[in-house]
Amino acid sequence: MIQLDCVERDFVRISDKKTVRIRALHNVTLRVKKGEFVLITGPSGAGKTTLLNLIAGVDRPTKGEIKVSGNPLHTMAEKELSIFRNKVIGYMLQFYCLPAHLTAEEQVMLPLLIAGETPPFARRRARYLLEQLGIGSLATAYPGEISGGQAQRIALARALANSPSILLADEPTGNLDESTASQLIDLLVQFNKTKNLTTIVVSQNDSLMRKAHRRIRLESGKIVADNIDDIIEN
């Protein structure tokens, strides 16, 4: 369902009046099956976020082909891509941002309203998701009034709002203590299992390392290890 063939992504930067070309991804070929839970690891600058951005359709490859749920992302027009992102992809960004003037419930309603749902439906769905993630009582709280772990759950609820078939999460436990991180990981595992939600997480977390079906390691823009297991170990 996710297919990358010979994907490259080059960035061009000007440094000291010279053009510098950075190859963030180099000849990446990858298949991810429906319902797989894939962990992506690798050092800073390895290309992890670049890879997620390409799968999410927020960035395009310099070369190569990307198909996600049958959609050829490398050739799709911008309008089609934005519909694809809204319907198919749930994305928890590495440096996510919750607009300060929206309550938790409104943050989750946003992608639903963009998808054309009515406000009453969007509100019901947002409340249901916040409830499911254990933060129903924070529906009317603003980002300034909640903790980091709670904010991550809101970001997760927002990513799940339109019932995506693919969830991408970039360092979702990055700033959390061990026990809060572990609660968020349990939620990711639970959604993967119960909804057969294809899940790709960038993280260096040891517990995720054990729970993922598959661990992919990126170094300098290349896949250097890809261990596929058949079953979840925990």
Ligand X SMILES: Nc1ncnc2c1ncn2[C@@H]1O[C@H](COP(=O)(O)OP(=O)(O)OP(=O)(O)O)[C@@H](O)[C@H]1O
Interacting residues with ligand X (CB under 6 A): 11, 13, 22, 24, 42, 44-50, 94
Residue 46 binds which entry of Mg ion, ligand X, none, with Cβ cut-offs from 5 to 8 Å by kind?
ligand X
Q: Which of 9, 47, 49, 126 binds Mg ion (CB under 5 A)?
A: 49
CA 140, CA 103: separation in Å to the nearest integer?
A: 5
Cβ closer to Mg ion: 82 or 94? 94
Q: Report if residue 50 touches Mg ion, rule: CB under 5 A.
A: no
- Give the strands of the sheet with 63-68, arranged side by side: 18-32, 2-15, 63-68, 71-72
Among ligand X, Mg ion, none, what does residue 22 contact (CB within 5–8 Å per kind)? ligand X
Nearer to ligand X, 43 or 134 (CB): 43
Nearer to ligand X, 44 or 179 (CB): 44
Q: Binding partner of residue 162 among ligand X, Mg ion, none, CB under 5 to 8 Å per kind?
A: none
Token pair in block for residue 88:
């198919």
End-to-end CA distance of the chain: 25
CA distances from 147 to 28, 51, 74, 135, 143 (A): 37, 29, 38, 11, 8
Q: Write out the binding residues for Mg ion, residues 74-113 only, by CB under 5 A.
A: 94
What does the block give as tokens for 154?
């809101």
Shorter beta-carbon distance to ligand X: residue 105 or 170: 170
Stretch that binds Mg ion, among 29-37, 46-54, 76-84, 207-215 (CB under 5 A): 46-54
Q: Say how many residues touch Mg ion, by CB under 5 A.
A: 3
- 160-164 long-range Cβ contacts below 8 angstroms, 24+ apart: 160/90, 160/129, 160/191, 161/90, 161/108, 161/109, 161/110, 161/111, 161/112, 161/125, 161/126, 161/129, 162/86, 162/87, 162/90, 162/111, 162/112, 162/115, 163/195, 164/87, 164/88, 164/89, 164/90, 164/197
Asked if 41 is part of the footprint of Mg ion (rule: CB under 5 A), the reply reads no
- Least Å distance between CB 58 and Mg ion? 13
Rounded to the nearest whole angstrom, what is the least distance from the CB of residue 154 to ligand X in the complex?
21
Residue 44 binds which entry of Mg ion, ligand X, none, CB below 5-8 Å type-dependent:
ligand X
Residue of minimal CB distance from Mg ion?
49
**Residues within the interface to Mg ion (CB under 5 A):** 48-49, 94
